[in-house]
Amino acid sequence: MRHLKCSSDYLSEKGILVSMMIIKCAHCKGKLFKYIKIGRGAVWHCWKDRIVEDYTIKQGTSIHCSCGALIGTDKGSYIKMHQAAFITVGH
């Protein structure tokens, strides 16, 4: 178990923005993931080793919110996110 200390945004040694974000369901606004984002721009994939907290429900390779909304697809080392299904909240 890695210890992830990420209470606020910071820049890595290479100057890349690293930030903690909350990914929420666009339908019910429930929490889906607490996720460490590296770099700027949209979230297209959620790499599993950067997910700090996971509130989703798995059904095979489908990732669902507790409200039932389909959030993404499990691709092994990452989750391919459905762009209309989630919102992100910076932290």
Q: In this structure, are residues 65 and 57 in contact, taking their beta carbons and an 8 Å threshold?
A: yes
The 10 Å Cβ neighbour count of residue 91 is 14
Q: In this structure, are residues 70 and 85 in contact, taking their beta carbons and an 8 Å threshold?
A: yes
Would you say 1 or 84 has its CB closer to Zn ion?
A: 84
Q: What is the residue type of 11?
A: L
Would you say 25 or 79 has its CB closer to Zn ion?
A: 25
Nearest to 22 by CA among 11, 10, 6: 6
Segment contacting Zn ion by CB under 5 A, of 16-24, 35-43, 56-64, 68-76: 68-76
Which of 23, 65, 79, 85 is in the footprint of Zn ion by CB under 5 A?
65
Residues between 13 and 52 with contacts to Zn ion, criterion CB under 5 A: 25, 27-28, 30
Q: What residues line the site for Zn ion (CB under 5 A)?
A: 25, 27-28, 30, 65, 67, 69
